Structure 1
Amino acid sequence: MEAKLAAYRVRKRKQAMVESMKNSVKGVLTWGSNTSNTSASSSPPPAYVELEDREDIESSQSEESLDLTPAENPVLTQVTYLLYFLLWATLYMIALQFEFGAVYFIVSSLVLIWKNTRSGPKKKGEISAYSVFNPNCQAIDGTLNAEQFEREIRYGASSVH
C-alpha cells in the first residue's frame, strides 16, 4: 500500500511540475497580450490535454534547451540604447570635469567588451569557430586553412574562389 502511495505522490509531483512549467511558458509567451478574453469553449478536449501533458513531460526530461525569450520591440530597444548612451555620455562629461575622463573611457570600454562576450552555451546546431569541435572538422566561412594557403602560394590569389 505504501508503494502505491509513494508512486501516486511521485506522479502528482510530476503533474504539478508540468503544470507549473506550462503556466510559466504560457506566461512568458503571452506576456504583454490580453489574456482576459479567453473562454471556456476554446479549451481543448481532455484527451488532447492528456497528450499535451505526456509531451510536456517528455520534453521536460529531454536535454534540449528551449529559447523562451519573448520577441523584443525594435523601437523600445533603440530608445533603451539611446538612454544608455545618454547616461554614459553624461557620466563621461562629469568624469572629464574631474579630469578623470581617460580612466572612465578605458573602464567603460572594458565593461562594454566584457558584456558583449557570450558566456552561455551555444545553440543547438550552431557550429564552433574552432573547426576541431565541429562534426567532420568543418570550418566556418572565411577561415584560412592550409590547403587554401598552399593553392594561393603555388597558383596565385586568383586560384581561390
Structure 2
Amino acid sequence: MSMSMEAQLAEYRARRRREALINATKRKIISMVSLNINQADTEPLMPDAQLIITEGDSNQPADFDTEDISFKDILNDNKFIIMCFTFWVVVFMVFVHFQWGAVFFVLSALVFIYANTRTRTRRYGEVSAYSVFNKDCKTIDGQLTAEQFEKELRFGPGSVT
C-alpha cells in the first residue's frame, strides 16, 4: 500500500521538526556544558521552527513553542541557580570526602571566573575598554586619562568635569 502524498509530506515535516528540536537541544546542552554562555543566549532554541511551521498546513496546530528562549532567561530563574548551587555543594562534599576539596574549590573558582568574563568578540560599533582599539582612540565614559590626572594633580579634584 502506498501512502498518499499528504501523509508522506506530514511525516516528513514531523521528522524535520523532531530533528530540528533534537539538534537545537544538543547545541544548548553543549553550550551549557562548555560554559559558553554568551553564545547560548544569542541562538534561538529552534532556528528552523518558523520555516517548518509556515511550510505546513495552517490548519494543523504546532506541537512545540516557537518562542525564542535564551540561556540568560534560564540563568535569571532562581530555581535553576539554587539547583546548580546545590549540585555544586553535593559534588564539593564528595570531593571533601576524598580529601580533594581544596582542589575542587580552586578549579571551581577558576571556572566561575572564566565563565563570567566576556569570551565573545566585540559587536560592530561597540567600543573597547582600551582606547587604542577604538576609532579615533575614543575613550569610554569614566576612563581616567593622562590629561585628567594631570589637571587633578595641578588644580585639585574639583577642576575636572
**TM-score computed with the length of structure 1 as normaliser:** 0.53
- The Cα of 1:105 is off from its aligned counterpart by 0.6
Q: Which residue of 1 aligns with 2:127?
A: 127
- For 2:69 and 2:132, locate their aligned partners in 1 and report how far apart those are by CA, in whole Å: 34
Structure 1 unmatched ranges of 5 or more: 1-24, 40-68
- The Cα of 1:119 is off from its aligned counterpart by 2.5
The structure with the larger Rg is 1
**TM-score computed with the length of structure 2 as normaliser:** 0.53
Does the 8 Å CA contact 1:131/1:137 hold for their aligned counterparts? yes
1:112 counterpart = 2:131: no
- The Cα of 1:141 is off from its aligned counterpart by 1.8
The C-alpha deviation readout for 1:61-83, integer Å capped at 9, x for no partner, is: xxxxxxxx745646873322222
CA RMSD of aligned residues (A): 3.3
- The Cα of 1:100 is off from its aligned counterpart by 1.9
- For 1:140 and 1:126, locate their aligned partners in 2 and report how far apart those are by CA, in whole Å: 10
1:28 counterpart = 2:47: yes
- The Cα of 1:92 is off from its aligned counterpart by 1.2
- The Cα of 1:137 is off from its aligned counterpart by 0.9
Q: How many residues align?
A: 107
- The Cα of 1:108 is off from its aligned counterpart by 0.6
What's the secondary structure of 2:47's corresponding residue?
helix
CA separation of 1:124 and 1:79: change in aligned 2, threshold 3 A: farther
What's the secondary structure of 2:77's corresponding residue?
helix
- For 2:155 and 2:48, locate their aligned partners in 1 and report how far apart those are by CA, in whole Å: 56
Q: Which residue of 1 aligns with 2:103?
A: 103
Does the 8 Å CA contact 1:127/1:140 hold for their aligned counterparts? yes
- The Cα of 1:29 is off from its aligned counterpart by 8.1
Superposition map of 1:34-45 within 5 A: 38=58
- For 1:123 and 1:110, locate their aligned partners in 2 and report how far apart those are by CA, in whole Å: 26
Superposition map of 1:67-78 within 5 A: 70-71=69-70, 73=73, 77-78=77-78
Superposition map of 1:132-151 within 5 A: 132-151=132-151
- The Cα of 1:135 is off from its aligned counterpart by 1.4
- For 1:129 and 1:76, locate their aligned partners in 2 and report how far apart those are by CA, in whole Å: 27
Q: Which residue of 2 aligns with 1:93?
A: 93
- For 1:119 and 1:29, locate their aligned partners in 2 and report how far apart those are by CA, in whole Å: 26
- For 2:73 and 2:115, locate their aligned partners in 1 and report how far apart those are by CA, in whole Å: 21
- For 1:112 and 1:155, locate their aligned partners in 2 and report how far apart those are by CA, in whole Å: 43
The C-alpha deviation readout for 1:74-125, integer Å capped at 9, x for no partner, is: 6873322222111111111222222222111101111111222323221122
CA separation of 1:30 and 1:115: change in aligned 2, threshold 3 A: same
Does the 8 Å CA contact 1:127/1:134 hold for their aligned counterparts? yes
CA separation of 1:30 and 1:80: change in aligned 2, threshold 3 A: farther
Structure 2 unmatched ranges of 5 or more: 1-43, 60-67
